[in-house]
Structure 1
Amino acid sequence: MLERAHLMVVREVERQGSLTAAADVLNLTQSALSHTVKKMEQQLGTQVWTREGRSMRLTQAGQYLLGLANRLLPQFEHAEARMRQYARGERGTLRIGMECHPCYQWLLKVVAPYLARWPDVDVDVKQRFQFGGIGALFGYDIDVLVTPDPLTKPGLRFEPVFDYEQVLVVPEGHALAHVPHVTPEQIAQEVLITYPVETDRLDIYTQFLTPANAVPRRHKVIETTDIMLQMVASGRGVAALPRWLAEEYADWMPIVAKKLGKKGIAKQIFLGTREADDAIDYLSAFIALARDADWAQARIRA
């Protein structure tokens, strides 16, 4: 019979690369772990590893068990952590994953009123995931995924919470600052500054440049919004950002937001959650606060 302990052994031996190192992490002697491995393979009726000197390589059966361990063990660990929180009288921690660099500023303005309304809930924000945002949701590394590009998957739910327009941000004195809208051919003459995201996930490429077979004269990557817009303001390039964010910075920086094409690029921010978590009240409250239209409009005018 397959047990949780078997999955823990498979995962740890793969992580550590040897029985000796895995035994240390699992607080076992090497002989005890060797016995566990032998007994497990006997119970399962198949080899899980092949031995190559001191190293061990997973068989096909072992690879299957590793995948199972990576899916199930985080759920056990998450459930145990949640039970410990309940035992201490705590509501829990809302772990938010970010797949949208400019959304971080939006999130800050949601988190502030949320923490005030839910003083017994902590918030943690993660911006990097080993297996991507969807994998982080399925793996219980996060509870909410903030993304402009949802993927429909069984067991997940994505709620649109905020509409926005993607625009091109240029310096005040730039030639494009005076045109009614920007064309792909005009951006082909510019240095385009973006966040460190693959071009096939950047709207400026997928919805504007690539369909027109256009590319910028040069592409620069910058991680932070503040530095990106400082570069734009100093004439070092142009950047594509949400209009609300660009106009917020335009209050104190010499930059202008311009429409991308005649129709513009309409986008939405989505919050992704697991359907199994629908009954968690503080999670539902976060989503409700985020999509509150009156609050969102007040935030933009603030």
Structure 2
Amino acid sequence: MFTFDQLAGFIAVAEELHFGRAAEKLNMTQPPLSRQIQKLEKIIGTELLERDNRKVQLTPAGSAFLDEAKRLMALANRAPVTARRIATGRSGVLRVGFTAASGFSILGPLLEEIASILPEVDIDLQELVTGEQLQGLLTGELDLGLARPPFDREIFDSHLLYKESMVLAVPTGHPLADLSRPVEDEDIRDEPLIMHSPTQAAYFYDLVIRMHSINHGNVLHTVSQILTMVSLVAAKRGVAFVPHSTTLLAIKGVEFLPLAGPSSDDPVELHAIWKRKVANPALRRLLQDLEFRAG
């Protein structure tokens, strides 16, 4: 394999088309420079330069190799700088997991803030439910998660991003929208329900059955995504318990009604979550600048 010294020697001769001037440019004498070029040509297996007593010029192979040689030298010169920037968290990749609901609420503003702190760091986004995010954090496939509790606080550190209430999504014009008060459990006793999946959306499922008296015989559909729930409500398939941030979707054919009881007390939480032992320098820098604390 050729060396970077040989590449530098070849580039100098190719640019000067004169061994003497190239050697002077490299602060060396001409004989060792000539030997470098000869060794390089032997390694590559073809002549790169045509030389006689009067002139030096590039062969067609030399012209093609010159472009690649310059590219390799540029990469070699840039590599230490890149390594230092990654080590200090100024470059690299930050892999962020997020729940679907956070995608239409806090994700956009948070990404703007991350970009202002880490302008040269690439952000790799992955839409995942909380369980998948926690697994990704454990395996190192994710650096930061935007997810729901519970999680093991001995393994993960966190910061509470926000809390919000639950509301009831109903089709536009539904009789419940005419109530002059928050909706109570008795009001929806006979309503067809669109419920969260107890496995894929366990956080919301557990919240709803803990806070409300649910007639499971009325459950018409069980889904995992908030957007799917609201779309089914718009299709008049039933009513659904959703976080207040869902109102930002502004889906036609859906109204959002306040709920009585614990749902009005902002029980829905979203946390930024990361492993306590931070491996990614970009994440370490982000956490410092955002002043996240365990929560």
Same fold (TM over 0.5): yes
Q: How does 1:9-20 map to 2 (within 5 A)?
A: none
The amino acid that maps onto 1:105 is F
The SS at the match of 2:190 is coil
Within 2, Cα distance between the matches of 1:187 and 1:287?
47
1:119 maps to 119
1:257 maps to 256
Going from structure 1 to structure 2, the CA distance change for 1:253 and 1:125 (only over 3 Å counts) comes to same
Q: How does 1:44-193 map to 2 (within 5 A)?
A: 86-87=82-83, 89-90=85-86, 91-98=91-98, 100-106=99-105, 107-128=107-128, 132-179=132-179, 180-193=181-194
User: Which of structures 1 and 2 has the bigger CA Rg?
Assistant: 2
The SS at the match of 1:276 is coil
CA contact (8 A) 1:161 1:287 kept: no
CA contact (8 A) 2:211 2:261 kept: no
Within 2, Cα distance between the matches of 1:130 and 1:150?
9
How far residue 152 of structure 1 moved from its aligned partner, in angstroms, is 3.0
The SS at the match of 1:177 is helix
How far residue 159 of structure 1 moved from its aligned partner, in angstroms, is 0.8
CA contact (8 A) 1:150 1:270 kept: no
Gaps of 5+ in 2: 1-78
CA contact (8 A) 1:199 1:206 kept: no
Gaps of 5+ in 1: 1-82, 292-302
Within 2, Cα distance between the matches of 1:162 and 1:85?
38
2:243 maps to 242
Going from structure 1 to structure 2, the CA distance change for 1:202 and 1:177 (only over 3 Å counts) comes to farther
Within 1, Cα distance between the matches of 2:259 and 2:166?
7
Within 1, Cα distance between the matches of 2:261 and 2:162?
22
How far residue 208 of structure 1 moved from its aligned partner, in angstroms, is 3.8
The SS at the match of 2:165 is strand
CA offsets 1:100-128 (integer angstroms, 9 cap, x no match): 33112221342244335422111112234
Q: How much is the aligned-residue C-alpha RMSD, in angstroms?
A: 3.7
Within 2, Cα distance between the matches of 1:143 and 1:87?
19
Within 2, Cα distance between the matches of 1:222 and 1:130?
15
1:41 maps to none
Within 1, Cα distance between the matches of 2:108 and 2:197?
21
The percentage of aligned residue pairs carrying the same residue is: 20
How far residue 278 of structure 1 moved from its aligned partner, in angstroms, is 8.6
How far residue 257 of structure 1 moved from its aligned partner, in angstroms, is 1.8
Going from structure 1 to structure 2, the CA distance change for 1:211 and 1:161 (only over 3 Å counts) comes to closer
The SS at the match of 1:214 is coil
CA offsets 1:191-216 (integer angstroms, 9 cap, x no match): 3334555288243x433435655234
Question: How many equivalent pairs are there?
Answer: 205
How far residue 289 of structure 1 moved from its aligned partner, in angstroms, is 5.7
Structure 2 length normalisation: TM-score? 0.56
Within 2, Cα distance between the matches of 1:274 and 1:124?
17
Range moving further from structure 2, 265-274 or 89-98: 89-98
Going from structure 1 to structure 2, the CA distance change for 1:201 and 1:129 (only over 3 Å counts) comes to closer
Within 2, Cα distance between the matches of 1:130 and 1:261?
27
Going from structure 1 to structure 2, the CA distance change for 1:284 and 1:192 (only over 3 Å counts) comes to farther
- The one of the two structures with greater contact order (alpha-carbon pairs below 8 A, sep at least 6) is 2
Going from structure 1 to structure 2, the CA distance change for 1:249 and 1:290 (only over 3 Å counts) comes to farther
Within 2, Cα distance between the matches of 1:102 and 1:133?
14
How far residue 226 of structure 1 moved from its aligned partner, in angstroms, is 4.5
Range moving further from structure 2, 105-114 or 210-219: 210-219
Within 2, Cα distance between the matches of 1:245 and 1:200?
15
The SS at the match of 2:119 is coil
CA contact (8 A) 1:185 1:214 kept: no
Within 1, Cα distance between the matches of 2:230 and 2:203?
17
Within 2, Cα distance between the matches of 1:184 and 1:84?
63
Going from structure 1 to structure 2, the CA distance change for 1:289 and 1:170 (only over 3 Å counts) comes to farther
